[in-house]
Each structure stands twice: as C-alpha cells, then as structure tokens.
Amino acid sequence: MSDTFKAIMVTRDEARNQSVTVKTLTEDDLMDGDVTVAVEATTVNYKDGLAITGASPVVRRWPMIPGIDFAGTVLSSDHADWKPGDRVILNGWGVGETHYGAYAGRARVSGDWLIALPDAFTAQQAMAIGTAGYTAMLSILALERAGVTPDAGPAIVTGANGGVGTVAISVLSRLGYHVIASTGRTGESAFLSSLGASEIIDRAELSEPGRPLGAERWACGVDSAGSHTLANVLAQTMRGGTIAACGLAQGMDLPATVAPFILRGVSLLGIDSVMAPRPLRETAWARLATDLDPQKLQSLSRTIGFDDIIPTAEAILNGQIRGRVVVDMTG
Ligand code: NDP
C-alpha cells in the first residue's frame, strides 16, 4: 500500500480568494483523530460543489480537504469501537468543512463520527446513496415519527432529479406513497417515473411567489429547494399534513405566511444530517438497506474517478447532475 496519496486541497490567499489544487500527501499531513480510514468511495453532494467552488461559505478552515462523506476500511484505530479491517461510513460532522474530508486517499477522523457500513452495501453503493440519500431517509423517518402514512395522501418531492429527490422518490414509492415529483427537467419524466413517481409537475408551478393558501394537493413531502418552492409546498399541503425541509437549492429564504400552520394545522419539520445523533444515523442506513431497491439505486447513480471531482462540483451547482455521482477512490 502506497504511503502517499492524492488529495484535493482548498486554500485561500490573503485577499480571501479561494483556489483548488491536487496535492500529494502522507498520513502525517492529516489532522488529529483516533481512526485512520482508507477512503474507497466518496461522492459529490451539492454542498461539496459549494465547498470546492467557494460559492457559499461551506469551508470554514483553510487549507481544507473538502468532501463531506466517505465509505472505506479502517487502517488503524485507537477507538474502542473500531479495529483495522472494519468497513465504515461517515456523513457530516463538519468533515470537509472544518476537518479534513473525503477527497483524499486517507481520512483521519474521530471514531465517534463513524458508523458501520451495512452488509447490504459495498462502499460504492453506500456512496451512491451518500449524504443526499441518507438525508432523504432522515426526512422520511421524520415524517414517520410525525405519524405520516401512505394512506394520508400524496407525497410531494421537490428537486426531484437531485440526489435527495431521487432517493426520496425511490423510497417513498417503495413504501406505498403516491409520489408527485416536482422538477425543472421535465424531459427526465421517464426516469422519474422509473424511480416510482406517479405524477410529475414543472417546478415553475412552485418557484414563483404564491398565495398564502392554495388548493390542497399533498399530505406530506420532502423539500430540498427552500425559498418560494417550500412556501408554495406548505400553502398547498392538505389539512394536518407534514413537510420535511432539508435543502436550499432555490434559496435559503422562506417567504411564507403562517396561514398553513394556523388554518390547516400543517407541520414543518427541519432536517439536519450533519449533527444527527449516531443511533438515528444507524436507523437511517439500516432502513436504506431494506427500503431502497438496489436496481433503482444503480439506475440513479453513475461512477466517476478522482480527477473528475472538481468539474463535477461545478456541474452540480449548475443543476447539470441527475441523481447521484459515486467517486471510486480505489482506481
Ligand atoms: P442536487 O444538486 O443533487 O439536487 C438539487 C435539485 O434541486 C436539482 O437537481 C434540481 O432538481 C433542483 N433545483 C436546482 N435549482 C433549483 C431552483 N432554483 N429552484 C428549485 N429547484 C431547484 O443536490 P442534493 O440533492 O445533494 O441536495 C439538495 C439540497 O439539500 C441542497 O440544498 C443541499 O445543500 C441540501 N442538503 C441538506 C442536508 C441537510 O443536512 N439538511 C444534507 C444534504 C443536502 P430538478 O432539476 O429536478 O428541478
């Protein structure tokens, strides 16, 4: 096994201009942690796109190796829960933001941040799900905790062609929901139907300023867009319905009124994958192993190499990526 490995490094000059380079590192260059992992697969999430391009302040320490999630095998460990050879997954915890992240051959992290890779998945399959898919499952678990069931009515999924959206559609349809997919890429309707979407609507229906309340169209939903889209989703949620909000693909703002909450008893659930406690992560990954059809997982993902990470980060911000991208780090 080579002692050196490649890493993507984000740096910032005195004028705060960010640049990205590929460097060759050794384990001595890594940050502190009690477990060192051979990174076998990672992915490019929307947040990674923001980190690499500097479009949003995701990186909060320079220099930084971006990459918010990985799957791999433990090489060495001083942590009671992990030993060499264990197969692990990491999502979030500030990795790729304040702690050196996934876009390197090795990662050294706190063992408290790791969970076991379910037997159902290879490292590459786990990263085909990635933080986006795990966040989709956290959203669905939140809906279930709120008592939502498929017989309550249709489920809306916004950002349908994205990482969160594709996994949310796949799992919700497998659970028996009538899924309404909202997308700006209606040309991908056949793909969304193949994942399990029963209806497809143009996201333009939801992305402009709307009325405080509209016709009741769905009982629950997973929103990865925020802004006017989430406001309109809430305004068109059925009485007693529940929406899980996990993203800001349209915007960070929420130009809504309280009308859906106080006149229809609608609930809005916030989803944070980064600091989610370990038992919830384990539940989410266990449910992904049972509730996500492996064939759909394959159809919604494609594999790239380390050298493709930077251009893919730019493409995801331009809305040019469909579904999930797996980075195979073993090549
Ligand atoms: P992707 O880029 O894969 O997907 C986002 C999708 O949103 C796009 O594919 C597109 O779908 C849609 N979209 C893009 N721009 C707009 C717009 N202006 N208005 C409405 N819809 C738009 O990202 P991910 O799925 O990885 O992440 C989705 C969001 O969730 C991001 O904001 C991300 O930061 C957030 N996120 C949050 C997490 C958390 O812990 N809360 C964890 C993971 C992700 P289409 O082409 O079908 O319209």
Quote the ligand 1 centre to 29 CA distance (angstroms): 33
Whether this prediction's pTM lies above 0.85 is answered by: yes
Q: What are phi and psi of 108, to 5 degrees?
A: -115, 120
Q: Which of 157, 224, 269 to mutate to test the pocket of ligand 1 (most atoms within 8 A of CB)?
A: 224
Name the residue with the closest Cα to ligand 1, atom 10: 159
**Token reading at 85:** 């050879």
Closest CA to 98 of 143, 54, 51, 162: 51
Q: What is the pLDDT of residue 130?
A: 93
Quote the ligand 1 centre to 190 CA distance (angstroms): 20
Q: What residues line ligand 1, using a CB cutoff of 6 Å?
A: 45-47, 131-132, 135, 159-165, 183-185, 203, 207, 224-225, 229, 246-250, 271-274, 316, 319, 321
Name the residue with the closest Cα to ligand 1, atom 11: 159
Mean pLDDT by runs of 10 across the 331 residues of the chain is: 87 91 96 98 94 91 96 98 98 96 98 96 95 96 98 97 95 98 95 97 98 98 98 98 96 97 98 95 97 90 96 92 92 79
Q: How many beta carbons lie within 10 A of that of residue 137, not counting itself?
A: 27
- CA quadruple 251, 257, 262, 263: dihedral, nearest 10: -110
Contact 316, 49 (CB under 8 A): yes
Task: Please name the residue ranges forming H helices in 22-146.
Answer: 46-53, 123-145
The secondary structure of residue 27, as a DSSP letter, is G
Minimum-distance ligand 1 atom for the alpha carbon of 45: 26
Minimum-distance ligand 1 atom for the alpha carbon of 50: 34
Q: What is the pLDDT of residue 2?
A: 57
Domains and CATH numbers, the chain: 4-117+300-328 (3.90.180.10), 131-270 (3.40.50.720)
Contact 92, 274 (CB under 8 A): yes
Name the residue with the closest Cα to ligand 1, atom 43: 132
Closest CA to 290 of 41, 116, 70, 118: 118
Quote the ligand 1 centre to 96 CA distance (angstroms): 18
Separation of alpha carbons 296 and 323, rounded Å: 11
